[in-house]
């Protein structure tokens, strides 16, 4: 199969602190991973495309200094929410593509971030 | 602009009855189409996809979807709904013009199956 592990599943942090979310492809290598944000009762909004060994590609309107993405290996991408504020509270989901034609896109289980 | 529409916020169906969750798309060319299901506080689970070939696609948990090019639709169906099918369903498309693997998602449809 194609498994993507996302950690932590839930995190609560204080305003002004930074939070790191990890996304790992467990049984395949992923040169590209995707980070989405989901607001309550809304669809997924693509934030950025994480590229192994190079800079991430951010979607329009997403602050790259706010949401730092690092894709240091073929199995790990991290999203760091810097100087978090309550409006950053959301559900963050990563995805990776092992073999689109066979598996489709595989998603992590998501991270619920609450900034207090 | 390329987009995916799920016209129904919520679909209610009685257990044992057939269900349909609608999806239409607006992209140029022949897109890749996907359906995903999301349970509360969880990531998305892949249900099925259409890449090419037979217009009727069968997927996980007894779900199927029919690609209709003339109507630009990809409705999700199941002959007999289960209470456990209650969840949030997303239709997604990868336009052929994209040179990356990013997806465009619909707004989601909440399926409620009543006993």
Distances in whole angstroms, Cα of residue A114 to Cα of each of A12, A88, B42, B101: 5, 8, 16, 29
Q: Is the pLDDT of residue B12 over 80?
A: yes
Q: Is the pLDDT of residue A1 over 70?
A: no
- Is B52's Cβ below 8 Å from some Cβ in A? no
Q: Which residues pair with A92 in a beta bridge?
A: A37, A111
- Is A90's Cβ below 8 Å from some Cβ in B? no
Q: How confident is the prediction for chain A on average, in pLDDT?
A: 89
Q: Which pairs count as long-range contacts for B65-72, CB under 8 Å and 24+ apart, including other chains?
A: B65/B23, B65/B33, B65/B35, B67/B33, B69/B30, B71/B24, B72/B24, B72/B25, B72/B26
Among A1-5, A99-103, B106-110, the range scoring the smallest mean pLDDT is: A99-103
- Is A34's Cβ below 8 Å from some Cβ in B? yes
Overall residue count recorded for chain B in this entry = 115
Give the tens place of pLDDT for each residue, B71-91: 999 999 999 999 999 999 999
Please name the residue of chain B whose CA is at the shortest distance from the CA of residue A57.
Answer: B100
Q: Are A108 and A6 in contact (CB under 8 A)?
A: yes
Residue A101 has a pLDDT of 55
Contacts of B1 (CB under 8 A, 6+ apart): B26
pLDDT band at B100 (very low <50, low <70, confident <90, very high): low
Q: What is the mean pLDDT of residues B4-16?
A: 96
Phi and psi, residue A66, nearest 5°: -85, -40
Residue A86 has a pLDDT of 95
Residue A22 has a pLDDT of 97
Residue B1 has a pLDDT of 75
Most confident of A39-43, B90-94, B100-104, B111-115: B111-115
Q: What is the mean pLDDT of residues A3-16?
A: 94
What's the angle, vertex CA B38, arms to CA A68 and CA A8, rounded to 5?
A: 40
Å between A46 CA and nearest CA of chain B: 8
Residue A99 has a pLDDT of 64
Test B101 with A100 for CB contact under 8 angstroms: yes
Q: What is the mean pLDDT of residues B89-98?
A: 84
Å between A100 CA and nearest CA of chain B: 9
Test A43 with B32 for CB contact under 8 angstroms: no
**Tokens matching residue A62:** 């997403």
Contacts of A82 (CB under 8 A, 6+ apart): A18, A65, A66, A67, A68
Give the tens place of pLDDT for each residue, A31-64: 889 999 998 777 888 999 988 888 899 999 999 9
Distances in whole angstroms, Cα of residue A92 to Cα of each of A55, A81, B16: 20, 11, 34
């Amino acid at each position: 199969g194609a498994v993507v592990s996302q950690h932590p599943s839930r995190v609560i942090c204080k305003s002004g602190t930074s939070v790191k979310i990890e996304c790992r492809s467990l049984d395949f290598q992923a040169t590209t991973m995707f980070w989405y944000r989901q607001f309550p009762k809304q669809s997924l909004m693509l934030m950025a495309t994480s590229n192994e060994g190079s800079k991430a590609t951010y979607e329009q309107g997403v602050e790259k200094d706010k949401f730092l993405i690092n894709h240091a290996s073929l199995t790990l991408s991290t999203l760091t929410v810097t100087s978090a504020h309550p409006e950053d509270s959301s559900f963050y989901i990563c995805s990776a593509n092992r073999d689109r034609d066979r598996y489709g896109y595989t998603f992590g289980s998501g991270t619920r971030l609450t900034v207090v | 602009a390329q987009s995916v529409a799920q016209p129904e916020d919520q679909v209610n169906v009685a257990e044992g009855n057939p269900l349909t969750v609608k999806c239409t798309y607006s992209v140029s060319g022949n897109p890749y189409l996907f359906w995903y299901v999301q349970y509360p506080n969880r990531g998305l689970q892949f249900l099925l996809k259409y890449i090419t070939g037979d217009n009727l696609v069968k997927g996980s948990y007894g779900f199927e979807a029919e690609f209709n090019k003339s109507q630009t639709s990809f409705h999700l169906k199941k002959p007999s709904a289960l209470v456990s099918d209650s969840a949030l369903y997303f239709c997604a498309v990868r336009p052929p013009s994209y040179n990356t693997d990013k997806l465009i998602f619909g707004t989601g449809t909440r399926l409620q199956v009543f006993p």
